Amino acid sequence: MRFSKDIEKIALKIINGERISSDDCLKLLEHNNLSEMFYLANIIREKRYGSFTTFSVNRHINYSNICQNKCLFCAFRKEENSKEARRLSIDSILKIVDEIRNYPYLEIHITGGLDPNFSFDDALTLVKKIKEIKKEAIIKAFTMVELDYFAKTSGLKDVEVLKRLKEAGISSFPGGGAEIFSPRIRKKICPLKIDGKRWLELSKKAHKLGIPTNATMLYGVGETEKEIVQHLDKLRSLQDETSGFMSFIPLLFQKENTPLKKLREVALAEQLKLYAVSRIFLDNIPHIKNHWVMSGLKAAEIYQWCGVDDLEGTVFEERIGHEGGAKTPIGMTKEAIEKIIKAANRIPVERDGLYNRVKKIGAA
Ligand code: V47
């Protein structure tokens, strides 16, 4: 393939397996020839995973939508005294887990708001009791934002919070709450939330204790391309130190029912480019995951040719994106996810919550 003059050198680096710089990354984000970008991202994707796209059977559970962080992008959060405030009791969460206990490789994804009536002890009890119901369930629970809140409200040191959750049975931490690290944007969209530095600090502490995590980036919230590169660069630098991130998940902002409704739509072409460039730049993060809830099901097909090797799982039931107006289903069957993967001429492979393939099917 002949590349445009302005990215020729960068393309050569990528083809030769060399790392690209932040400046290169910015150039790619500013470059308009999508087919070149997809081609380059796909080389990396196929070198690692061939034609396989993984997914997990998972269940998202939001224990509470009551949150003290009044993030402007979040349509999910409610005030304690609102009619729509919803805090699940530990027993009702256990009932949900009990209903799905027979599924063999199950990932349970638990997050909630910063709810003063959900304590760190509640979190530990919940995790322990889920493990009593289903010992082999992989529990991915509590974002860095919730972990910070647990540390503050319990008075325990970060490491103690992380260790206790690990002992209780947590396998990993989800990637939410990172938003976009840019202080300029955070000031506008989530002024009360922990800053990017703290999010990274807690991720690092989790990794050092051997707990893998994911990383997200919320986009479509007024960020510049430079701010995207800065976000990716911070993730890549931490990953160089710890190797603790399993996947990177871009999250397209769903703006309904939020005061940020007037922000411009992100064109599909820009979304696809972002995934491709993330795959290229984040050479040390194994997986690029598409959260189909936010991006849409049709786009989920194309992403698999723009660097994505992993689709978010069956999810049922999703609430965060849907409160923001997402038009996708609130959950999908395993067969429906496999259909999306096959529609893209990729091969579906079920994985567990730690990226182990459920059936051995030979090397990718
Ligand atoms: O933390 C909130 C973001 C996150 C909106 O780790 C929004 O495997 C878009 O982190 N529009 C929750 N995004 C989702 C998340 C996630 C999803 C799937 C898999 C994993 C994983 C993590 O969604 C929140 C916040 O960053 N968010 N509101 C919105 N209106």
Q: pLDDT for 155-172, tens place per residue?
A: 999 999 999 999 999 999
Whether 174 contacts 109, CB under 8 Å: yes
CA of 216 to the centre of ligand 1 (A): 7
- Residue 294 beta carbon below 6 angstroms from any ligand 1 atom: yes
pLDDT at position 1: 84
Q: What domains can you pick out in the chain, each with its CATH number?
A: 19-353 (3.20.20.70)
- Mean pLDDT value of segment 285-313: 97
CA of 214 to the centre of ligand 1 (A): 11
- Mean pLDDT value of segment 211-239: 98
SS3 45: helix
**For residue 360, what pLDDT band results from cuts at 50, 70 and 90?**
low
Q: CA 104, CA 356: separation in Å to the nearest integer?
A: 13
Q: Give per-residue burial for 38-51: e unless 16+ CB within 10 Å, then b.
A: bbbbbbbbeeebee
Residues 6+ apart with CB under 8 A from 289: 214, 247, 248, 249, 308, 310, 311, 312
Q: Which atom of ligand 1 is nearest to the CA of 143?
A: 1
Which residue of 251, 252, 274, 295 sits with most ligand 1 atoms within 8 Å of its CB, as the best mutation to test the pocket?
A: 251
Percent of the chain scoring above 70 in pLDDT: 99
What global pTM score does this model have? Answer: 0.97
pLDDT per residue as tens digits for the range 103-145: 988 999 999 999 999 999 999 999 999 999 999 999 999 999 9
**What are the beta bridge partners of residue 56?**
351
Residues 6+ apart with CB under 8 A from 229: 22, 25, 26, 29, 281
* 152-157 contacts, C-beta under 8 A, 24 or more apart: 153/116, 153/119, 153/120, 154/119, 154/120, 154/121, 156/120
For β-strands 347-351 and 52-62, DSSP reports them as parallel
- Residue 248 beta carbon below 6 angstroms from any ligand 1 atom: no
E strand spans, the chain: 52-62, 106-111, 138-141, 170-172, 213-219, 245-252, 287-290, 310-311, 347-351
Whether 253 contacts 219, CB under 8 Å: yes
DSSP percent split of the chain into helix, strand, coil, nearest 5: 45, 15, 40
Place of tokens 């493990």: 131
CA of 292 to the centre of ligand 1 (A): 11
